[in-house]
Amino acid sequence: MDPVVSLALMNKAKLMFEGEDTYLAFPSSSLSYKKDDLSFMTSMWTAERLLKLAEFSRIMDCIPNGIALDLTRPQTLSTAYQDVLRGNTAGVKLASATRGRTADEEATYQKAFDFLYHMAPDGSWSDSPATLAYKQYRDTWFAAQETYKNKQIEATYTTDAAIKERWTTLEEPALRSKIAEIENEWIVKGHRHEYESAKHTYEQFVGSSPSTVWNEWAMQCMPGLDKLTDAASAQEFFPCGFAPSNMLASPTWATLTLAENEVEGLAQAAPPEIRKLLGTDQMDLDIESLSLEISSAVITRAWFAPEVFKARFWKFYDTDKVLSNGQNPPSGDCPAYAVAVVFARNLTIKLKPQSPKNQQLLTMLKTSPAQSFATFKLAASPITPSPGQAVMLKSAVQAPPALMIKKPVTATMTVKAAQVGHPARSAQFARVAVDAEPDQLPAGAAMRSGIALQRMQGKDFRILPVETITPPPPPPPAPEVQMPFDKDEVWILGVVCKRLSLCPNPDPTLHWG
């Protein structure tokens, strides 16, 4: 039989986070962390935290295979990006500039650039205060949308007419009003119109000087400075963070709820790829309700410019090579990549009382290994229950799977028709405190750590402060209420992935030499 609760939970998460060109991918293995493990920008850097950053970065660097984020695949975003930016394998040809910018156009371009970015004396970019404010209010809007979608999906799939009526008459108007209020703040305080106008101007002028723009992009991704070194394996990696960086400490997470009367409808509507993704060790529970606190954060990559994939002034010399064929579902070397991560905490499951199915499962767990529940791993608590009390579930934290790690290969740049020089960036960055690294790391790794981490901070922003109300302490849980997660435990529920349109998509009207 299908594990209907797991199917329903994953399908609801999928519906909440999918968009026109984005979708939710689920990790192929359960991923659990202590909150402090992921405090990349809010705590002192230690060797242990750098190891967690390496692990997190490699997960977010994986290229998804449909809705599965296969952590053992050798293909990565950073490899595909370097392949384009430096023409490592197929060679990249740039179009010739049709004409130079006029003085007025250059002034317009520079004004837009200065609004979006701050350029350091060494030539590296970071987000401007206006851009950071834009992202803060955009993420607040995302969170409000998640709350709206949770209730909307519940009303769509429930069999309870009263819940449908409450959504139509009370919840939907109130949530829609809240979203409108946040949109107004986004416009006024988050500089929405000014940011989007500047972004449009920047992208409009990017194609007028392919060689110059390509050189600017290449300067933002220099492996000798932007890579960090994993102290455990002495392997280099491109760091990936997330923002808002203080989101894990925020008390205001959205709640994903699942009621008994919506489980069947959501499970039946689950697409075949979710059913295929679930293993044979999934728990099959009878529930009255389920709740899970969730929060999404954008993935930050100081070394990555997504505009590269959208630019139409480059192509591979190998005309059969594509990053994405633009189809749905897309295929290619990099048909999609992670743009946000969805964290989960405080799972609460209210089991249906007197359920033979639940009693059988909980009894079996006393002597069996951990089993999967959606993307989580649960086992029987080691604490022996009192006579007559049910076995309590406990999260089963496991080591993540070994990710595919390859020795870095140094390749000469073969971008033709525009041989771009890459002036070295200054090493005069503010140092970040890092514990001493092992002796076996490559020479200069410690110095590069300070530079790369400084660059990561340039993409960071904090969650907007909100008024919080301290709730009264919850009553002691009833025997049928299961709360398997530790207080400081967070899981990766899924990863929001962006589909690539046709890439490369060279403009045939440009001059290609």
Mean pLDDT of 267-296: 90
* pLDDT exceeds cutoff 80 at 112: yes
Looking at the domain assignment, is residue 341 inside a domain?
A: yes
* pLDDT exceeds cutoff 70 at 372: yes
What pTM does this model have? 0.85
Instruction: Flag the least confident range among 46-55, 63-72, 90-99, 459-468.
Output: 459-468
Confidence grade of residue 428 (pLDDT, cut at 50, 70, 90): very low
- Predicted confidence at residue 207, as pLDDT, reads 73
Instruction: Flag the least confident range among 85-94, 293-302, 409-418, 459-468.
Output: 409-418
Helices marked H in 330-406 — which ranges?
356-365
For 129-253, where are the E strands, in sequence order?
A: 228-229, 236-237, 241-243
pLDDT digits (tens, 9 = 90+) for 432-475: 333 333 334 444 444 455 677 777 787 877 877 655 444 455 55
Looking at the domain assignment, is residue 507 inside a domain?
A: no
**Better pLDDT: 440 or 355:** 355
Q: Which of 477, 294, 292 is nearest to 373 (CA)?
A: 292
Residue burial 401-419, b: 16+ Cβ < 10 Å; e: rest: eebeeeeeeeeebebebbe
Mean pLDDT of 153-176: 95
Looking at the domain assignment, is residue 473 inside a domain?
A: no
Looking at the domain assignment, is residue 504 inside a domain?
A: no
Instruction: Flag the least confident range among 63-72, 387-396, 485-494.
Output: 387-396
- Predicted confidence at residue 466, as pLDDT, reads 56
- The DSSP code for 477 is P
Looking at the domain assignment, is residue 72 inside a domain?
A: yes
Q: State both tokens at 271.
A: 């697409």
pLDDT digits (tens, 9 = 90+) for 476-511: 555 578 888 888 899 999 999 999 999 999 999 888
- Predicted confidence at residue 476, as pLDDT, reads 53
Cis peptide upstream of residue 471 (ω within 30 degrees of 0):
no
* pLDDT exceeds cutoff 50 at 415: no
Instruction: Flag the least confident range among 140-144, 334-338, 370-374, 445-449.
Output: 445-449
472-480: long-range contacts, CB 8 A cutoff, minimum separation 24: 479/389, 479/390, 480/288, 480/350, 480/351, 480/352, 480/353, 480/390
Confidence grade of residue 98 (pLDDT, cut at 50, 70, 90): low
Confidence grade of residue 410 (pLDDT, cut at 50, 70, 90): very low
Helices marked H in 220-344 — which ranges?
223-226, 260-269, 272-277, 307-310
* pLDDT exceeds cutoff 90 at 368: no
- Predicted confidence at residue 430, as pLDDT, reads 27
CA gap 153, 173 in Å, rounded:
15
Confidence grade of residue 418 (pLDDT, cut at 50, 70, 90): very low
Contact at 8 Å (CB) between 493 and 342?
yes
The percent of residues above 90 in pLDDT, for the chain, comes to: 46
CA dihedral over 270, 281, 279, 55, signed as positive or negative: positive
Looking at the domain assignment, is residue 474 inside a domain?
A: no
Range of the domain at 157: 4-467+480-499
* pLDDT exceeds cutoff 80 at 11: yes
Looking at the domain assignment, is residue 356 inside a domain?
A: yes
Mean pLDDT of 101-111: 88
CA dihedral over 446, 450, 455, 460, signed as positive or negative: positive
CA gap 40, 46 in Å, rounded:
10
**Better pLDDT: 443 or 66:** 66
Count Cα neighbours of 349 within 13 Å in the Cβ-side half-sphere: 23
* pLDDT exceeds cutoff 50 at 322: yes
* pLDDT exceeds cutoff 60 at 426: no
- Predicted confidence at residue 452, as pLDDT, reads 75
Cα distances (angstroms) measured from residue 319 to each of 310, 375, 505: 17, 39, 11
- Predicted confidence at residue 259, as pLDDT, reads 92
- Predicted confidence at residue 80, as pLDDT, reads 93
Mean pLDDT of 84-92: 78
Nearest-5° Cα angle at 369, 367 to 372: 130
* pLDDT exceeds cutoff 80 at 290: yes
Q: Is 5 helix (H, G, I), strand (E, B) or coil?
A: helix
Mean pLDDT of 183-193: 96
Cα distances (angstroms) measured from residue 44 to each of 39, 427, 447, 452, 487: 9, 21, 16, 15, 22
Q: State both tokens at 101.
A: 């910018």
Instruction: Flag the least confident range among 243-257, 282-296, 476-490.
Output: 476-490
Number of domains in the chain: 1
Looking at the domain assignment, is residue 505 inside a domain?
A: no
